[in-house]
Amino acid sequence: DGGITQSPKYLFRKEGQNVTLSCEQNLNHDAMYWYRQDPGQGLRLIYYSQIVNDFQKGDIAEGYSVSREKKESFPLTVTSAQKNPTAFYLCASSIDPSVYEQFFGPGTRLTVL
């Protein structure tokens, strides 16, 4: 059953802690993305990766870090430097975004306590 998965669905973090959000896909897509969505808002791009071992900052990368060691996995770490991390985080993948659509995971809702 092909698709893109995110875990956990809900995550609670204390101020000052780093947390890592998981994103895995078995679609054999080269490109992967992380977006942040705030209530009633659109999606803002955090980081994206076009290929393994390569990634670029999006529009709101400060306070976040990523790695792309495997084609299937693109974990996002929300660091303590991110001052307002409470949001809905969406991961997506695509064969080639210049030609094809993105496939989205179900999202992770992060809340800072």
Q: Give the nearest distance from C-beta 53 to other proteins in angstroms.
A: 16
Contact pattern from residue 14 through residue 33 relative to other proteins, giving x for each residue in contact according to CB under 8 A and a dash for the rest: -----------------x-x
Q: Which of 3, 13, 4, 17 is nearest to 80 (CA)?
A: 17
- Cα 91 from Cα 33, distance rounded (Å): 6
Least distance to other proteins from the beta carbon of 28, Å?
A: 17
Residue 48 sits in the site that holds other proteins (CB under 8 A): yes
According to the binding rule CB under 8 A, does residue 75 interact with other proteins? no
Pairing of strands 4-7, 19-25: antiparallel
